[in-house]
Amino acid sequence: MTFESNEEKNSIGTLMFNILGSFAQFERDLIVECTSEGRERVKAQGKHMGRKAI
């Protein structure tokens, strides 16, 4: 991903890049949290996770 502007360094461009990065990290953290909770719930029910053994 590249950001280009007419100026060498743009404060607003840097701010936008950091905001977008923060939102991306937040979303990733939510995904990991929800996935972990789902795995714990399945294990508590005693169900098998993953592929079936061949």
Residue 52 or 5, more confident: 52
Residue 54 confidence (pLDDT): 79
* Radius of gyration in angstroms for the set of CA atoms belonging to the chain, rounded to a whole number: 20
Residue 3 confidence (pLDDT): 60
End-to-end CA distance of the chain: 42
Tens of pLDDT, residue by residue over 2-48, are: 666 666 678 888 899 899 999 999 999 999 999 999 999 999 999 88
**Average pLDDT rounded to a whole number, residues 44-54:** 85
